[in-house]
Structure 1
Amino acid sequence: MDLQKSMTISASGMTAQSVRMRVIAENLANANSVSPDPFTDPYRRKIVSFSSELDRAMNVDVVQANKLNYDQSDFGTRYDPGNPAADGRGYIRVSNVNSLLEMMDMRQAQRSYQSNLNAMEAARRLASMTVDLLR
């Protein structure tokens, strides 16, 4: 495989994982949000989906962050009868973000990003060694 193609593939993986990390950071920032009133939903967790697309210029398949989906799991509830957003029973709805799950996803995205970076650095070193041999 051409070294430039392998660098393109690694760069696309790094870009996709950085989008994923940005969305996870947004989820974590809103993990403790509550609905502002009994009739409005609190923050809903976002999930990034990936797709494989053909880069016609390089003739390689690259990964891209395809679109954001919303986690359709139920919102949590918390008993807080003094809150103006509480329903008739005294419960407020809280975000469906699980901080532990988000931290695990963040760690996985970081590792994937680092793996792509290592592959890119290896391709750069091979290209540099090839230039040195040609001198």
Structure 2
Amino acid sequence: MSDILGAISVSSSGMTAQAQRLRHVSENIANADTPGYRRKSIAFHEVMEGGVTPGRVRLDRSPLDRVYAPGHPLADDSGHYDGSNVELILEIADSREAQRSYDANLKLFDQARQMTSRLLELLRR
């Protein structure tokens, strides 16, 4: 029984971590055109019994795109301003990966829940 509860715990921590990852990917996509915005990423840390926990949010330190728009209010004397460093293709790929990982953890959670339910039914007889 403890193996089943462990599987539920591991899958639950995976879903929580992937949900937080999806939140940051969504923020990155929403702010792709925001001047000065830096891409956010998050790393996961393994905890006891195989689960994961989200780590600190990190800002991507790669250089910001220089955008030429002389009429923009943030433009400097040369007509440039700092854009964001968000790559939409990368964000879409990250969102798909996070969604697939979330779905895999959800299936594991559901299977462990069904096994627990069946075990309890057998014990009642």
TM over 0.5: yes
> Which range moves more in the overlay, 82-91 or 92-101?
82-91
Which residue number in structure 1 is paired with residue 52 of structure 2?
A: 63
Q: Superposed, which structure 2 residues align to 1:1-135 within 5 Å?
A: 2-34=3-35, 42-54=36-48, 60-134=49-123, 135=125
Number of residue pairs matched?
123
Give, in angstroms, the shift of residue 112 of structure 1: 0.4
State the SS of the aligned residue for 1:43.
coil
Superposition misfits of 4+ residues, deviation over 4 angstroms: none
The superposition leaves residues 53-83 of structure 1 with CA deviations (integer Å, 9 ceiling, x where unpaired) of 22xxxxx231000111111111112210111
- In the aligned structure 2, how far is the partner of 1:64 from the partner of 1:122? 22
Structure 1: distance between partners of 2:33 and 2:37: 9
Structure with the largest fraction of helix: 2
Amino acid of the structure 1 residue aligned with 2:46: S
Query: 1:87, CA displacement in angstroms?
Result: 2.0
- TM-score, normalised to structure 1, is 0.86
Q: Which residue of 2 aligns with 1:38?
A: none
| More divergent stretch after superposition (116-125 vs 88-97) | 88-97
Question: Can you list the C-alpha shifts for 1:20-62, whole angstroms capped at 9, x where unaligned?
Answer: 011111111111011xxxxxxx1111100110122xxxxx231
Structure number having the greater strand percentage: 1
Aligned-partner Cα distance in 1 for 2:114–2:47? 27
Query: How many Å separate the matches in 1 of 2:50 and 2:20?
Result: 18
Pairwise CA RMSD of aligned residues?
Answer: 1.2
